[in-house]
C-alpha cells in the first residue's frame, strides 16, 4: 500500500483515490496532467497527492502547493478557481522534482468529495488514467459537460480583442503602445486618459463603467483563461488604463465626478484622427445638485471588482486605492439618487439612462465581495428589481444584479429570475434568431447583445445554474461571431483580424485615415475599399435579423464598433479558454459550422 494512504482516506472522507501517471519524465523531474471528475458542488477544493517515491518539490500554477511529507503534497485552489460544479473536470498540470529519472505512481483524492472523485464506478476516466482495483461500474453516472471539440482559436481572438482596447486609448500613450497608427491625443482633457467610446472620440461615463465592470468580472472568474492564452499581463494593462482614468475622474473631497468629456454633436461633425482634433472638449461633471447614481453605482462596482482583481495579482497598494474610491463613490451615490441624464445636458441624446437601481445593486454586491460588510449586501437587496431584463447592456443590468445576488445568497428567487432571462434568450424564447443561429435582439449592435448574454450564461453556469446547457449555448453564440455563419460563403468572423475573412471597413474615424502626414477628412468616410488601418479585434455591430450583412463604413448600424460592443464577447472568450483548459468544453451544435 502507498505510504500515507490511511491518513489520506481519513482526511478525504474515505474517498478512493484516482491513479495518475506522468505524461513525461526525465532525470530530476516529471510532468503530470491531472483530470479529476467532480460530482458535487464545491466552493474551495483541496487535492491530496500521494507519490510512490520521494519528491522534493512540486510546482502547480492553478493551485497552492503545501508539502506534507516527502511523499505527500496538498494542492488547494487559488482565489479565482475555487468553485467547481457537478459534472466539471478539475484539470491542472503540475511538475515534480526529485532525484534520478522520476516516474512515480500517484494517487489523487479531492478532500470531502467521497468515492466519486476518486473514480466513481461507471465514470469515463481521462486517457492515461485508470481506476484503482476494487471499484465497480455504477448504475448511473453524474453529468459531464466535457469532451467537446472546436476549431476556433479563442485565445487568439482574446489577444486581438485586447488590441482593440489599445486602439481606443486616449491620452499619452505608453512606450509599448502596440497600435503604431495611434499616437498621443486629447492631452488637454480635464481628465486625460481612458478610452474613446466608439468610432468617435467622446468619453461617455455610463458605457465606460459598464464596459470596465464586464471586463473585470470576466478577469475575476476566468483569470486562468487569460493565463492559458498567455494574455494575463496584457489584460492587467488593459483594465488598468480604465481604472486609472476612473480614479482621476472622481474627486472625493469635492464630491465631483467627470461623467463626459467632449460634446457628442461637435465630435460627430468631425471625421479624422483623434490626434488631429481641434474642437472644444467640454468637461461635464456630476456633483452637488447634479446626481448620477447610475454612473456612480456602476463605477463603484467596477472599482470594487478591480480591487479584487488587483489584490489577487498582488498589487495591494493599487487595489486599496480602487476600493477607497469605490466606497466613497457609492456613499455619494446613495446620498444623491438620480440619473446622470437629468444632470448633464444632452447626455440622453447618446446614452440615455433608464434608471439607477440596477447599477446601485451591482455596486452593493461588488463592495460586499470586496469588504464582507453586510451593509453593502443589504443595500444591494433594496435596489433589486424583480423583472426580466430586455438585455444585458450598458444601461440595463437587472439580470447581472440578480445573478450576483444569487451567488451571494443562494436564494432560489434570484436564481429563477436568471433562469427566466435565459429562457427568453434560448431558442423558443422571446428573442429572435438569424437563420444561422445568432440570438438577434436588436439591429443596433446585434453582436454586442449576443456576446453580453453569452457572458451572462457562462457566469451563470459557473454559479451552478443549468451549467451544461448554458455553456453550450454561450459557445454557440461566440462560434457564430467567429465564423459559424454563411456570410461571404461561410467562415466569416465579425471580429476584425480574426480568421481569414472579416470586416475591413468599420465605422471608425482613426482606422479610416492613412498614415500621417497624409490628410484625413470626411472624404475618408465615403472612400471605397478597406480602411487603411486594420482595427484588430474590434467586434462590429452585426447582421440584420435575416442574417444579411454588408461591410460598408458608411453603414454605422452594421459596422459600428464600441468599447461596450466588445466587452461581453471579450469576457466570453476568456471563459471559453477556461473551459478548454479545464476539459469542460461541451459539445456544441452550430447551424452553419465553418468547414475551413
Q: Indicate which CATH number applies to the domain containing 103.
A: 2.60.40.290
- Of 92, 118, 144, which marks where a domain is finished? 118
pLDDT mean over 164-182: 97
* Residue 448 sits in the same domain as residue 571: yes
At residue 145, the pLDDT reads 42
- What percent of the chain lies above the pLDDT cut of 70? 90
Do 158 and 85 have their domain in common? Answer: no
Q: Is residue 85 part of a domain?
A: yes
Residue with the larger pLDDT of the pair 18 and 118: 18
Q: Which range among 34-38, 77-81, 280-284, 383-387 shows the weakest confidence by mean pLDDT?
A: 77-81
Model pLDDT, residue 139: 26
Where do we find the cell 464586464? 214
- Residues 520-541 have pLDDT tens digits of 999 999 999 999 999 999 999 9
Which residue among 68, 91, 118 closes a domain? 118
Which CATH number goes with the domain that contains 173?
1.50.10.10
Give the C-alpha distances (Å, rounded to integers) separating 583 from 2, 92, 126, 155: 28, 10, 10, 15
Q: What is the pLDDT of residues 2-17, one digit of tens each?
A: 333 333 333 333 344 6
**Please, what is the end-to-end C-alpha distance for the chain in angstroms?**
52
| Weakest mean pLDDT among 76-90, 343-357, 538-552 | 76-90
Per-residue model confidence (pLDDT) at position 23: 74
**Burial of residue 549 (number of CB atoms within 10 Å: 0-12, 13-18, 19+):** buried
354 and 474 in a single domain? The answer is: yes
What pLDDT is stored for residue 196 in this prediction?
Answer: 98
Same domain, 382 and 238: yes
Residue 445 covered by a domain:
yes
Using a cut of 0.85, tell me whether the model's pTM lies above it. Answer: no
Q: What is the pLDDT of residues 459-489, one digit of tens each?
A: 999 999 999 999 999 999 999 999 999 999 9
C-alpha to C-alpha distance for 116 and 131, rounded to whole angstroms: 11
Is there a domain that residue 46 lies in? yes
Structural domain that includes position 556: 154-581
Specify the range with the lowest mean pLDDT, choosing from 67-81, 136-150, 154-168, 564-578: 136-150
What is the average pLDDT across 547-571?
98
Residue 362 falls in the annotated catalytic set: no
User: Could you tell me the pLDDT band of residue 552, with boundaries at 50, 70 and 90?
Assistant: very high
Told to judge if 560 belongs to the known catalytic residues of this protein, a careful annotator would answer: yes
What's the pLDDT at 10? 34
182 with 291, same domain: the answer is yes
Residues 275 and 334 in one domain: yes
Is 478 contained in some domain? yes
Q: Tell me the three cell numbers of residue 331.
A: 456613499
pLDDT at 370: 98
Tell me, yes or no, whether 238 and 309 share the same domain.
yes
In a domain, 350, yes or no: yes
Whether residue 218 has pLDDT greater than 90: yes
- Asked whether residue 128 is assigned to any structural domain, the reply reads no
Q: Do 208 and 73 sit in the same domain of this protein?
A: no
> For the ranges 47-61, 345-359, 382-396, 444-458, which has the lowest average pLDDT?
47-61
Crossing angle of helices 232-249 and 154-167, rounded to 10°: 30
Tens digits of per-residue pLDDT, 86-138?
777 787 878 888 888 888 989 898 887 765 544 332 233 333 333 332 222 22
Q: What is the pLDDT of residue 142?
A: 30
* CA of residue 252 relative to chain centroid, distance: 29
Q: Give the pLDDT confidence score for residue 114 in this predicted structure.
A: 61
Burial of 128-165, coded b for 16+ CB within 10 Å and e otherwise, reads ebebeeebeeeeebbebbbebebebebbbbbbbbbbbb
Residue 95 burial class via C-beta count within 10 angstroms: exposed 0-12, middle 13-18, buried 19 and up: middle
Tell me: do 103 and 226 sit in the same domain.
no
Q: Using the predicted structure, report yes or no on whether residue 567 has a pLDDT greater than 80.
A: yes
Q: Does any domain span residue 342?
A: yes
Comparing 347 with 354, the larger pLDDT belongs to 354
Q: Are residues 348 and 396 in the same domain?
A: yes
With beta carbons less than 8 A apart as the criterion, state whether 108 and 36 touch.
Answer: yes
Instruction: Please tell me which residue in 551, 552, 554, 555 is annotated as part of the active site.
Output: 551
Q: Burial letters for 436-456: b for 16+ Cβ neighbours within 10 Å, e otherwise?
A: bbbbbbbeebbbbbbbbbbbb
pLDDT tens sequence across 261-316: 999 999 989 999 999 999 999 999 999 999 999 999 999 999 999 999 999 999 99
Residue 505 vs residue 141, higher pLDDT: 505
Q: How many domains does the structure of the chain reveal?
A: 2
Q: Which of 72, 111, 358, 560 is catalytic?
A: 560
Indicate the pLDDT class of residue 349, thresholds 50, 70 and 90.
Answer: confident
Give the per-residue pLDDT at 191.
98
pLDDT digits (tens, 9 = 90+) for 126-153: 333 333 322 222 222 233 444 455 779 9
Whose grid coordinates read 503602445? 177
pLDDT for res 448: 98
Average pLDDT over the chain, rounded to an integer: 89
Say yes or no: 296 and 405 in one domain. Answer: yes
C-alpha cell at 311: 489584490
Which contacts (CB < 8 Å, 24+ apart) does range 325-329 have?
325/246, 325/247, 325/250, 325/252, 326/299, 326/300, 326/301, 326/363, 326/366, 326/367, 326/370, 327/300, 327/367, 327/371, 328/250, 328/252, 329/250, 329/252, 329/257, 329/296, 329/299, 329/300, 329/303, 329/363
Read off the pLDDT band of 407 (50, 70, 90). Answer: very high
Q: Tell whether the model's pLDDT for residue 1 goes beyond 70.
A: no
On the question of pLDDT at 156 being above 50, the answer is yes
User: Does the pLDDT value for residue 179 go beyond 70?
Assistant: yes
Question: Average pLDDT in the 164-169 region?
Answer: 98
The answer as to whether 219 is a domain residue is yes
Last residue of a domain, one of 72, 90, 118: 118
The pLDDT of residue 61: 67
Question: Are 173 and 102 contained in the same domain?
Answer: no
Amino acid at each position: 500500500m502507498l505510504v500515507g494512504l490511511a491518513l489520506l482516506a481519513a482526511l478525504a472522507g474515505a474517498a478512493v483515490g484516482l491513479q495518475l501517471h506522468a505524461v513525461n519524465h526525465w532525470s530530476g523531474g516529471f510532468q503530470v496532467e491531472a483530470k479529476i471528475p467532480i460530482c458535487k458542488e464545491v466552493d474551495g477544493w483541496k487535492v491530496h497527492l500521494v507519490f510512490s517515491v520521494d519528491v522534493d518539490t512540486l510546482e502547480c500554477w492553478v493551485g497552492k502547493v503545501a508539502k506534507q511529507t516527502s511523499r505527500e503534497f496538498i494542492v488547494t485552489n487559488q482565489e479565482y478557481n475555487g468553485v467547481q460544479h457537478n459534472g466539471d473536470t478539475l484539470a491542472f498540470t503540475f511538475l515534480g522534482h526529485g532525484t534520478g529519472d522520476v516516474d512515480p505512481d500517484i494517487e489523487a483524492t479531492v478532500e470531502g468529495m467521497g468515492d466519486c472523485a476518486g473514480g466513481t464506478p461507471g465514470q469515463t476516466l481521462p486517457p492515461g488514467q485508470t481506476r484503482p482495483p476494487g471499484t465497480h461500474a455504477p448504475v448511473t453516472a453524474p453529468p459531464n459537460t466535457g469532451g467537446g471539440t472546436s476549431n476556433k482559436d479563442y485565445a487568439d481572438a482574446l489577444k486581438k480583442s485586447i488590441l482593440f482596447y489599445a486602439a481606443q486609448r486616449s491620452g499619452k500613450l505608453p512606450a509599448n503602445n502596440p497600435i503604431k497608427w495611434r499616437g498621443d491625443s486629447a492631452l488637454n482633457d480635464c481628465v486625460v486618459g481612458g478610452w474613446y467610446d466608439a468610432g468617435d472620440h467622446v468619453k461617455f461615463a455610463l458605457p465606460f463603467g459598464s464596459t470596465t465592470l464586464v471586463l473585470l468580472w470576466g478577469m475575476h472568474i476566468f483569470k486562468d483563461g487569460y493565463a492559458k492564452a498567455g494574455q494575463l499581463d496584457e489584460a492587467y494593462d488593459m483594465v488598468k488604463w480604465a481604472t486609472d482614468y476612473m480614479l482621476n475622474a472622481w474627486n472625493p473631497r469635492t464630491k465631483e465626478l467627470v461623467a463626459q468629456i467632449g460634446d457628442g454633436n461637435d465630435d460627430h461633425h468631425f471625421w479624422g484622427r483623434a490626434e488631429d482634433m481641434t474642437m472644444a472638449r467640454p468637461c461635464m461633471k456630476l456633483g452637488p445638485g447634479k446626481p448620477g447614481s447610475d454612473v456612480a453605482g456602476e463605477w463603484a462596482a467596477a472599482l470594487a471588482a478591480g480591487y479584487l482583481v488587483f489584490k489577487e495579482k498582488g498589487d495591494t497598494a493599487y487595489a486599496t486605492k480602487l476600493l477607497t474610491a469605490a466606497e466613497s463613490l457609492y456613499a455619494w451615490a446613495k446620498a444623491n439618487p438620480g440619473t446622470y441624464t437629468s444632470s448633464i445636458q444632452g447626455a440622453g441624446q447618446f446614452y440615455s439612462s433608464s434608471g439607477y437601481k440596477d447599477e446601485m445593486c451591482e455596486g452593493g454586491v461588488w463592495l460586499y465581495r470586496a469588504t464582507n460588510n453586510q451593509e453593502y449586501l443589504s443595500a444591494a437587496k433594496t435596489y433589486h428589481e424583480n423583472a426580466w431584463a430586455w438585455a444585458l447592456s450598458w444601461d440595463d443590468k437587472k439580470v447581472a444584479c440578480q445573478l450576483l445576488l444569487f451567488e451571494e445568497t443562494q436564494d432560489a428567487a434570484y436564481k429563477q429570475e436568471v433562469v427566466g432571462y435565459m429562457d427568453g434568450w434560448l431558442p423558443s424564447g422571446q428573442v429572435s434568431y438569424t437563420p444561422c443561429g445568432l440570438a438577434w435582439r436588436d439591429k443596433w449592435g446585434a453582436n454586442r447583445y449576443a456576446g453580453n448574454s453569452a457572458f451572462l450564461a457562462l457566469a451563470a453556469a459557473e454559479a451552478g445554474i443549468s451549467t451544461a446547457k448554458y455553456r453550450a449555448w454561450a459557445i454557440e453564440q461566440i462560434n457564430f461571431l467567429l465564423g459559424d455563419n454563411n456570410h461571404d460563403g461561410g467562415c466569416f468572423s465579425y471580429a476584425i483580424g480574426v480568421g481569414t475573412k472579416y470586416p475591413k471597413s468599420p465605422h471608425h474615424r482613426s482606422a479610416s485615415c492613412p498614415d500621417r502626414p497624409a490628410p484625413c477628412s470626411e472624404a475618408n468616410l465615403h472612400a471605397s475599399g478597406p480602411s487603411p488601418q486594420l482595427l484588430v479585434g474590434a467586434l462590429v455591430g452585426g447582421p440584420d435579423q435575416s442574417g444579411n450583412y454588408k461591410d460598408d463604413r458608411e453603414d454605422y448600424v452594421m459596422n459600428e464598433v464600441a468599447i461596450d460592443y466588445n466587452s461581453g464577447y471579450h469576457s466570453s472568450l476568456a471563459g471559453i479558454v477556461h473551459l478548454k483548459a479545464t476539459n469542460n468544453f461541451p459539445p456544441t451544435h452550430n447551424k452553419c459550422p465553418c468547414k475551413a
